[in-house]
Amino acid sequence: MSYIVDSHWVKDQIERLGENLVLADCRFVLGQSESGRNAYAESHLPGAIYVDLEKDLSAPVGEHGGRHPLPDPQLLADRLGQLGIRSSSTVVAYDDQGGAMASRLWWVLHYLGHDKVSVLNGGFAQWVKDGYETTKVIPDPTPRTYVPQIREGLLLHAEDVKARLHRPGTILVDSREPKRYLGLEEPIDKAAGHIPGAVNLFWKEVLTTQGLWKNEEDLKGHFAQLPSDREIVVYCGSGVTACPNVLALKSAGFANVKLYAGSWSDWISYGENPVAIGEE
């Protein structure tokens, strides 16, 4: 199953799979926590459930863990089950934020051992543009039992990243926009800069100018500076917009890709951690 699917494919699956297909509306705007849910209430794909970045896919913010800490895996699994997702479900996630929020759900499910999960190319806007129906009807999903099969090697914590600093076999990828990576500005977190040794690959560059995901060959070109035989560790501000870079790297054929889920907001919560400013 492809990581990226188009509206036509999703339409066919709605008719073919029925309740075995779960459409997940992940629209969410940082700093406007109800905007995505409100947009969902106004119009969404038929049968789609709403998955909230902060209420469903993040734990409460603490001293460490960043601005969107990952919940305990079993709590995640329990919540997915409550939303009507089971281990055998085919899941298609979508948003209207370039795939950033949908990719968070894609990564979470991938981490929990789920293979049949994809992101809708172009999101909700593309679905509408392609002429497919939407609805205001909010489904009442049947609770399921979700049995996680954790892929431990996909997730790193601050101590893991610190142990890898300047290690020849590892490349750190900072997914934030260049001004934040360089430390020229920091509108969200308490300190500016980046993790020493990281290269900057802004996550939005995996999209075309039309807002669609680049194809496999174009993604390979985009990531050409990264050796395919290295361990790639991806981070962003809080572990959300790193996920589309992870998805894109996997789509481009990189096998050893890991997420630092706490990301920059977690890194700087440890006062002893080093910080770099400017170009590497």
When pLDDT is cut at 50, 70 and 90, the band that residue 19 belongs to is confident
Residue closest to 244 by CA, chosen among 201, 195, 193, 189:
201
Architecture of domain 152-267: 3-Layer(aba) Sandwich (3.40)
The CATH homologous superfamily of the domain defined by 4-129: Rhodanese-like domain (3.40.250.10)
Q: Mean pLDDT, to the nearest integer, of 96-125?
A: 97
Asked if residue 18 has pLDDT above 80, the reply is no
Reported as a single tens digit per residue, the pLDDT across 166-189 is 899 999 999 999 999 999 999 999
Q: What is the identity of the amino acid at 276?
A: A
- Tell me if residue 236 is catalytic: yes
Active-site position among 236, 248, 249, 259: 236
Helix (H) or strand (E) holding 100: helix 100-111
Structure tokens at 187: 């509108």
Token pair belonging to 212: 């669609």
For residue 48, give the amino acid letter. Answer: A
Domain positions in the chain: 4-129, 152-267
Tens digit of each residue's pLDDT (9 = 90 or more) over 121-143: 999 999 999 999 999 999 999 99
* Cα(33)–Cα(217) distance, integer angstroms: 36
- Residue 97: the pLDDT is 96
Q: Is the dihedral of CA 119, 158, 233, 210 positive or negative?
A: positive
DSSP 156: E
Average the pLDDT over 209-215 and give the result.
97
Structure tokens at 163: 């142990």
> Which one, of 206, 21, 260, lies nearest residue 118 by Cα?
21
Q: Would you state the pLDDT for residue 195? A: 98
- Structure tokens that stand for 61 in this block: 């913010």
Quote the pLDDT of residue 17. Answer: 81
Q: Is the pLDDT of residue 200 over 90?
A: yes
3-state class (DSSP) for residue 37: helix
Spatial separation of the C-alpha atoms in residues 49 and 40, rounded to whole Å = 9
Number of neighbouring beta carbons within 10 Å of residue 60: 8
In whole angstroms, what is the distance from residue 125 CA to residue 39 CA?
Answer: 12
> Is residue 147 scored above 80 in pLDDT?
yes
**How confident is residue 116, by pLDDT bands cut at 50, 70 and 90?**
very high
Same fold: 4-129 with 152-267? yes
Q: Give yes or no for residue 45 having a pLDDT over 90.
A: yes
Confidence class for position 280, pLDDT limits 50, 70, 90: confident
Which tokens hold the place of 215?
A: 């194809």
Q: Alpha-carbon torsion 33, 119, 129, 213, what sign?
A: positive
Instruction: Give the single-character DSSP code of 141.
Output: P
Q: Tokens 């329990």 correspond to what residue?
A: 78
Strand, helix or coil at 138?
Answer: coil
Q: Are 142 and 49 in contact (CB under 8 A)?
A: no
Q: What is the mean pLDDT of the chain?
A: 96
Dig out the tokens for 102 from the structure. Answer: 């949908």
The reported pLDDT for the residue numbered 117 is: 98
* Residue located via tokens 């509408």: 128
Q: For 256-277, what is the mean pLDDT?
A: 97
